């Protein structure tokens, strides 16, 4: 390795300009020292070693924080889901059915899903069995004797009114 005394005056001047430039730019100086440390691991560079150790600790700390955040978020999700299942069960519904409905109907709120499933399960009002269904007359009766058919239909309607039933139901 050549020393500065062995260089020509132009080379010495160029080396001084490079040295001045490096000293004027701390980030470049640090990069050069870091590269030199890679080539020569025994080189003393406590500031670079300290920076590397701090960067490693920072990464470990951030990874630990991320892991804790994910665990906390997961626990919060489990807790909220358990609370929602309790509300669903208190409404007398099956949690799996409600969640399936939430996925199928694109419902994101448990309370809305509970109301939706409850509305789906409600039965239509029962129709009384005493009401006779309407039927169309056979064309044979109607056309054979129109007056007789009209009288019979009128008497049937009067009988239903007397029995307390509503017509047509």
Q: What is the per-residue pLDDT across 63-110, written as a single tens digit (0 to 9) for each?
A: 999 999 999 999 999 999 999 999 999 988 899 999 999 999 999 899
Tokens representing 133?
Answer: 């269904």
Calpha distance 18→24 (Å, rounded): 10
Alpha-carbon distance of 143 to 151, in angstroms, equals 14
pTM above 0.75, yes or no: no
Residue pair 4/15 in contact (Cβ under 8 Å)? The answer is yes
Instruction: Say how far apart CA 20 and CA 159 lie, in whole Å.
Output: 119
pLDDT average, residue stretch 10-25: 87
For the cut 70, the answer to whether the pLDDT of residue 27 exceeds it is yes
Q: Is the pLDDT of residue 168 over 60?
A: no
């Amino acid at each position: 390795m050549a020393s500065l005394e062995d260089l020509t005056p132009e080379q010495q001047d160029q080396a001084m300009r490079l040295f001045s430039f490096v000293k004027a730019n701390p980030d470049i100086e640090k990069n050069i020292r870091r590269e030199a440390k890679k080539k020569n691991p025994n080189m003393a560079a406590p500031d670079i070693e300290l920076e590397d150790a701090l960067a490693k600790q920072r990464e470990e700390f951030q990874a630990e924080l991320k892991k804790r955040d994910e665990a906390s978020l997961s626990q919060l999700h489990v807790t909220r889901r358990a609370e929602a299942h309790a509300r669903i069960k208190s409404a007398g519904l099956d949690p799996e059915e409600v969640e399936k409905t939430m996925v199928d109907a694109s419902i994101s709120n448990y309370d809305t899903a509970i109301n939706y499933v409850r509305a789906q399960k409600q039965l239509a009002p029962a129709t009384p069995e005493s009401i006779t269904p309407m039927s169309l007359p056979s064309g044979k009766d109607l056309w054979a004797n129109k007056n007789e058919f009209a009288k019979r239909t009128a008497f049937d309607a009067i009988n239903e009114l007397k029995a307390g039933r509503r017509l047509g139901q």
